[in-house]
Amino acid sequence: MADALGFTDEDLRRLAGARSYERGLGYLTAVSRLEVGETAITATVDGTDAYEVELTEDGVGPLTGWCDCPYGQEGNFCKHCVAVGLVVLGQADSVPRQRASATGRTELLSSWLKSRTREELLALLQEHLAEDRDLRRRLELRAAAAGEDTGIVRERILSLLDTRPFARYGYVEYADARAYGQQAAEAVTALRALTASGRAADAVEVAREALSALGRTYGEVDDSDGLIGEVATGLAEAHLEACREARPDPVQTADWLVAHLLDGLNDATDIDLFDYHEVLGEPGLARARELVVAAWRAHPKGWAEKYLMERLLKAGGGSVDALVAVHAADLAPNGHTHLVIAKELEEAGRPPEALEWAERGLREADSEWGPDGELVTFVCERYTRTGRIADVVMLRRDLLRARPTLATYQDLRTAARAAGSWEAAERATALEALRAADTPKAGRRYGGSVLMDALMDDGDLDAAWQAAADGYADQQQWLALADRIRGQRPADALAVYVRWIEPLRKQTGDGTYERMTELLLSARTCHQALGTELEFATYLAALRADQKRKRKLMTKLDQHGLP
d(C-alpha 12, C-alpha 65), whole Å: 10
- Mean pLDDT score across all residues of the chain: 89
In whole angstroms, give the CA distance from residue 521 to residue 497.
10
On whether both 82 and 152 belong to a single domain, the answer is: no
Kindly state whether residue 556 falls inside one of the protein's structural domains: yes
pLDDT at 311: 84
Query: pLDDT class for 149, splitting at 50, 70, 90?
Result: low
Considering the domain architecture, whether residues 499 and 526 belong to the same structural domain is answered as yes
Query: Does residue 155 share a domain with residue 63?
Result: no
Residue 437 included in any domain: no
Distance in angstroms (rounded) separating the CA atoms of residues 271 and 240: 9
pLDDT, one tens digit per residue, over 78-129 is: 999 999 999 999 998 888 888 888 888 888 888 998 998 998 888 888 888 7
Least confident of 72-76, 278-282, 290-294, 380-384: 72-76
Cα–Cα dist 228/218, whole Å: 8
pLDDT for the residue numbered 153: 80
pLDDT at res. 59: 60
Return d(Cα 172, Cα 181) in angstroms, integer: 11
Q: Which of 228, 248, 268 is the last residue of a domain?
A: 248
Q: Is position 88 within any domain?
A: yes
For residue 460, the SS3 value is coil
Question: Which contacts (CB < 8 Å, 24+ apart) does range 405-408 have?
Answer: 405/450, 406/450, 406/453, 406/454, 406/457, 407/373, 408/373
Q: Is 188 exposed, middle or buried (0-12, 13-18, 19+ CB in 10 A)?
A: buried
**Residue 359 maps to a domain:** no
In the chain, the percentage of residues whose pLDDT exceeds 70 is: 94
pLDDT at 2: 45
Helices (H), ranges, 30-173: 70-73, 79-90, 95-115, 118-131, 133-146, 150-160
**Predicted confidence (pLDDT) per residue in 364-421, tens digit:** 887 676 788 899 999 999 999 999 999 999 999 998 998 899 999 999 999 999 999 9
Lowest mean pLDDT among 78-82, 260-264, 538-542: 260-264
Among 129-133, 240-244, 325-329, the minimum mean pLDDT is found in: 129-133
The confidence band for 148, taking pLDDT boundaries of 50, 70 and 90, is low
Q: Give yes or no: residues 105 and 135 share one domain.
A: no
Parallel, antiparallel or unpaired: strands 31-36 and 50-56: unpaired
Domain shared by 86 and 135, yes or no: no
On whether residue 412 sits in a domain, the answer given is no
Same domain for 241 and 137: yes
Residue 419 is assigned to a structural domain of this protein: no
State the pLDDT at residue 498. Answer: 95
Domain boundary among 219, 248, 277: 248
Q: Which helix (H) or strand (E) holds 557?
A: helix 551-559
* pLDDT score, position 142: 67
Predicted TM-score (pTM) of the model is 0.55
Residue 14 maps to a domain: yes
- Same-domain pairing of 139 and 192: yes
Interval 25-80: pLDDT, tens: 989 999 999 999 888 899 999 877 789 999 987 666 678 899 988 888 778 899 99
Looking at residues 420-424, what average pLDDT do you find? 91
Q: Is the pLDDT of residue 1 over 60?
A: no
- Categorize the per-residue pLDDT at 4 as very low, low, confident or very high, splitting at 50, 70 and 90: low
Note whether 73 and 135 are same-domain residues: no
User: In angstroms, what CA-CA distances link 64 with 57, 69, 76, 77, 86?
Assistant: 7, 15, 10, 8, 14
Average pLDDT over residues 250-273: 86
Residue 83 belongs to a domain: yes
Q: Let me know if 256 is exposed, middle or buried by CB neighbors in 10 A (0-12, 13-18, 19+).
A: middle
The answer to whether residues 95 and 177 belong to one domain is no
pLDDT band at 450 (very low <50, low <70, confident <90, very high): very high
Look up the domain containing 543 and give its range.
486-563
Least confident range of 178-187, 310-319, 355-364? 310-319
Better-predicted residue by pLDDT, 178 or 339:
339
* Domain closes at, from 197, 216, 248: 248
Overall domain count for the chain: 3
Cβ–Cβ < 8 Å for 447, 474: yes
Averaged pLDDT for residues 307-327: 82
When pLDDT is averaged across residues 155-183 and rounded to a whole number, the result is 87
Q: Are residues 139 and 100 in the same domain?
A: no
Looking at the fold, whether 86 and 166 belong to one and the same domain comes out as: no
165, 107: one domain = no
